[in-house]
Amino acid sequence: MTDADERRVLKALQGIQFPAAKAQLVAYAEDRGAESKTLRALEALPEGDYSSGEEVEQAVPQRPDEELS
């Protein structure tokens, strides 16, 4: 994931209340109209609860499309 991708993920999650589970993160980004690439990155996250945007950013796989194949 590039720096631009990481910024898109953080932007898509702007305003969400943490802690948040993976499903909440994906649903929130969908509701905000996030790009498909951003949604794929969030869907590739490991299951669990995240305490901050920084934690989400660190957990997003570098190649989320390959993680889902």
What is the distance, to the nearest Å, from the Cα of residue 15 to the centroid of all Cα atoms in its chain? 13
* C-alpha span between 39 and 30 (Å, rounded): 7
DSSP state of 58: H
User: Above 60 in pLDDT, residue 64?
Assistant: no
Look up tokens 């996030």; give the residue.
Answer: 34
pLDDT on residue 21: 98
In the block, which residue shows the tokens 């109209």?
33
Give the per-residue pLDDT at 69.
Answer: 46
C-alpha to C-alpha distance for 39 and 50, rounded to whole angstroms? 16
Per residue in 32-46, pLDDT tens? 999 999 999 999 999
The pLDDT > 70 percentage for the chain reads 83
